[in-house]
Amino acid sequence: MRWKVQRIPLEQERVVRVTQSSSALAQAPIGVIDSGVGGLTILVELLRALPDERYIYYGDTGNCPYGVRPKTEIQRLAQNAAQLLLSHQAKLIVVACNAATVSAISVLRARFPEVEFVGVVPAVKPAAERSRSGKIGVASTEASARSDFLRQLIEQHAGGVEVLAVGCPRLVLLAEAGHLEGPEVEAVIREYIQPMLDAGIDTLVLGCTHFPAMRAAFQQVAGPDIEIIDSGEAIARRTRFLLTKHQMLAAPGQETVGNMPRALTSNDEFWCSGEADHFGRVAEMILHQPVRARQAPGMLIESGEAVKA
């Protein structure tokens, strides 16, 4: 399959989608976008919960990390990613990136009203409900930690609970490099979360989709008494709900959720903006099965370019 991304002014860009019957649309892929490999942790849950679907994943590894970029750049990158997946007829797009959800999902929904977007929300609500000490921690990207989105989430769902949040940009870089465990990773995790542990949290929210790939290292540092929560299963449930609502499930009668993610097939596609072989190697570490990725041309931007565009 060959395709071309045309660069034209943002206000003139349009997505042209072929009109499809509901049965044909049901067989279209679910799109998943992330700044890099982190969204693969969400894909794991989707493969487990919706094994009859096919998937097209785009990891923007060449522009990663998003969390340290200005909001306008994140919005531009997220729109480019959505444009790419819609050109492949994605029927629904999971924004499997906390920074992109916080900064861009409202823009995506306004720009592409013909498609449903599922965002990743830090699991603050279940963490607040489960906490015994009344103190929870959120490990996230810089963009998420300082966002009004997180502040509003805390106000709505964690009243009476003390929430400590920290941005962990070095962990994103370690994950992108394929360093998911070991002394180096644990040392960086400890640097970020030790102040929260010292403050008495008993529940830790992994507020970046890269971090569930490092769950074992987080647990090693936090200790057995700290409960660690992420939002992967909730995102898969939300995706199923929307597909059912719009009659877009590939197999409407399929209700069984497997214990293990299904095996990848040739119908699942993986794209990235950076080096494809490296992406494939790291993806294999997260998915525990071989991944053949392709590089999407023309997706890189220089810092500041999105602001000018």
Can you read off the two tokens belonging to residue 39? 């969204």
Identify the active-site residue in 64, 97, 168, 272: 97
CA–CA separation, 34 and 39 (whole Å): 5
**Nearest-CA neighbor of 207 among 130, 126, 266?**
126
Do 58 and 83 touch, CB atoms closer than 8 A? no
CA–CA separation, 231 and 240 (whole Å): 15
Do 50 and 240 touch, CB atoms closer than 8 A? yes
CA–CA separation, 225 and 283 (whole Å): 30
CA–CA separation, 256 and 254 (whole Å): 6
* Catalytic residue list contains 208: yes
Identify the active-site residue in 64, 168, 208, 272: 208
Q: Pairing mode, if any, of strands 203-207 and 135-140?
A: parallel
Q: Which residues are catalytic?
A: 97, 208
